[in-house]
A and B are shown apart, each in its own frame.
Chain A
Amino acid sequence: MERGGQAMKRFLGMLCLFVLLQPLACGRDKKGANKDAVAIEVLYTGKEAKRKILLYFPSLDKPGLISASAEIYQTASALNQAKQVLRLLLSGPLPKGAARPLEDGALREVFLDGEGLAVLDLRREALQNHPGGTTAEYATIASLFRSLTANFKEVSRMRVLVDGALVESLIGHFDLSGSLSMKDF
């Protein structure tokens, strides 16, 4: 009887968890419905110590990129911290004279392979508002790359996917067929 009650509780617990997670799982298949998947992910509790980082934005009035310091929570994993960096870059406070490399919600997923490679999966529909051109495309890629490699010794290379797939380029110029390293910038 006791055992049956425990089994029932476990079943109800699993059922509640399934019901709670169902909207997230369904959202992945709907166009645009999962736009803020990274943004809604809980990345920190707010109780962790903070660390200073540098963000690199395309500049609105100078050649190349401009850097701005910011803080992230020193959570246990580098992946989690990398997500915080990218969240700040795409949707955090925008310093004066800086542009967003990509619009908010452009990032679908981030992955670190533990051997120096960061994989960024971008959302194709978010690229529609990118200005285009070799210079702006280069600035976008460089902004993402520098913001990761400057803050994480775990990252020395970056690979960019769009909607989970390999692409020739982001907007028709910069070669994204392989992983990028410092020599490409």
Chain B
Amino acid sequence: MDRCPPRQSRGVSRAIILIFALCASIASAAVLVSPAAGSAQGLLVLDPGHGGQDDPGGQVGGSRESMVVLDLALALEKSLKEQGWQVLVTRRTDQALSITARVALANQSGALAYVSLHVNHSFNASVGGPRVFVAPESLASGNTEAPRWEEAASARLPESKRLAQALAIALGIKGAKPYQSLRLAQFRGLVVPGVLIEVDHASQTGRAAQILGAAWAPDLVRRLVTGLNAWSGAAKP
């Protein structure tokens, strides 16, 4: 006795399974994207850098950089939500989180952009001010090969550059190209437009105390919201 179903009915079963899987994946994608769909501005991923007790991040006066940028991210989230943005913050506590996990979170969210927040340090104590970074041009011009997955960020580079430009202007950075291209771990495998912002230099003489002061974060938040709104407005058709 042959207990297997006839070949034709096996084919139908496979087709049903395939259609079911396709519907499920479309539904899950809709869930991921839905936070942006209902808002006026869209979804942003804010990533306060570093975190956790073994974190190698720098110091800002007597505070850890990871805590300074966490407070900044949460304040920025509040202001952005008031402006109609949907916001996803990669960590809300002093927890260790790999850069790969942060990037994966941004990719899965289907966000309009990923913004990584840091406080900079330089060996030169006279250097100050914010810096904005985007992924490097990994593909040489005329190279028609598809990017390797870890270089995916270069595919969204035009949008990332526009975002970087808008943020740099809002932060008061001057120059024809007020942002820098650098091979940063935050851009490895990132498939949404992304920037890393070093919002200030804690290593600048006397600056750490100002960063920890009451006026620093509100002014910075206002500038960042201005930059993100300008980018979002310009990006709309």
Is A164 on the interface with B (CB-CB < 8 A)?
no
Q: Is B159 an interface residue when CB atoms closer than 8 A count as contact?
A: no
B50 close to A168 (CB less than 8 A): no
Stretch at the interface among A35-43, A113-121, A133-141: A133-141
Q: How far is the CB of B196 from chain A (nearest CB, A)?
A: 7
User: Are B50 and A134 in contact (CB-based, < 8 A)?
Assistant: no
A139 CA to B65 CA in the complex, in Å? 19
**Which residues 97-140 of A have a CB within 8 angstroms of B?**
99, 127-128, 130-136, 138-139
CA distance A173 to B57 in the complex (A): 9
Given contacts A168-B100, A176-B185, A177-B188, contact A135 B57 (CB under 8 A): no
- Please measure, in the bound complex, the distance between the C-alpha atom of A131 and the C-alpha atom of B186, giving whole angstroms: 19
Q: Is A91 an interface residue (CB 8 A)?
A: no
The chain B residue with its CB closest to the CB of A183 is B136
Number of interface residues of A (CB under 8 A): 32
Is the CB–CB distance between A133 and B124 below 8 Å? no
Q: List, in ascending order, chain B residues with CB within 8 A of A60's CB.
A: 123-125
Residue of A nearest to B120 (CB): A133
Q: Digit string of B178-211 for contact with A (CB within 8 Å is 1, else 0)?
A: 0000111111100000001010011100000000
Give per-residue flags for A163-185: 1 if the beta carbon is below 8 A from chain B beta carbons, else 0: 00000111111111110100110
Interface contact A168-B124, CB-CB below 8 Å: no
Q: Are B100 and A134 in contact (CB under 8 A)?
A: no
| Interface range, B side | 35 or more
B83 part of interface (Cβ distance < 8 Å) = no
Query: Within 8 Å CB of A132, what residues of B?
Result: 56-59, 65, 121
Q: CA A101 – CA B184 in complex, angstroms? A: 18
* Interface contact A134-B118, CB-CB below 8 Å: yes
Verify B122–A135 contact, CB threshold 8 A: yes
Return the contact of A177 from the options B119, B185, B201 (Cβ within 8 A).
Answer: B185
| A178 CA / B183 CA spacing, docked (Å) | 11
CA distance A59 to B125 in the complex (A): 10
Complexed CA–CA distance, A72 and B121 (Å): 32
| Residues A135 and B120 in contact in the complex (CB < 8 Å), given A61-B126, A171-B56 | yes
| Residue ID in chain B nearest A177 by CB atoms | B188
- The A/B interface has a contact count, at CB < 8 Å, of 106
Residues of A within 8 A of B182 (CB): 134, 138, 174
Within 8 A of B (CB), among A55-101: 58-63, 99
In the complex, what distance in Å separates the CA atom of A152 from the CA atom of B119?
Answer: 35
Is B121 touching A136 in the complex (CB atoms < 8 A)? yes
CB of B123 within 8 A of CB of A136, answer: yes
Q: Tell me if B63 counts as interface (CB < 8 A to partner A).
A: no
Knowing A61-B126, A134-B133, the reply to whether A172 touches B55 (Cβ < 8 A) is: yes
Q: For residues 21 through 47 of chain A, which have their beta carbon under 8 Å from a beta carbon of chain B?
A: none
Across-interface contacts of B187 in A (CB, < 8 A): 175
- Check if B120 sits within 8 Å of A134, measured CB to CB: yes
Report B236 CB to chain A, min CB distance, Å.
31
Q: From B55, B122, B185, give the contact of A173 (CB < 8 A).
A: B185
CB distance from A20 to the nearest CB of B (A): 37
Contact of A172 among B49, B124, B131, B188 (CB under 8 A): B49
- Whether A173 and B123, one on each chain, are in contact in the complex, defined by CB atoms closer than 8 angstroms, is no
Most buried by A among B49, B182, B183: B183
The residue in A60, A62, A133, A135 that gathers the most chain B C-beta atoms within 10 A of its C-beta is: A133
A174 contacts B184, CB within 8 Å? yes
Please list the 6 inter-chain residue pairs (A to B) with the smallest Cβ-Cβ separation, ordered nearest first: A132-B58, A133-B121, A131-B121, A58-B123, A133-B120, A99-B123
- Can you pick out 8 interface pairs between chain A and chain B where the beta carbons lie within 8 Å of each other? A62-B124, A133-B121, A133-B201, A134-B182, A168-B98, A171-B57, A172-B55, A173-B185
Given A134-B198, A172-B56, A173-B49, 13 extra CB contacts under 8 A: A58-B123, A132-B121, A133-B58, A134-B184, A134-B196, A135-B131, A136-B58, A136-B123, A139-B122, A170-B56, A172-B185, A173-B118, A177-B150
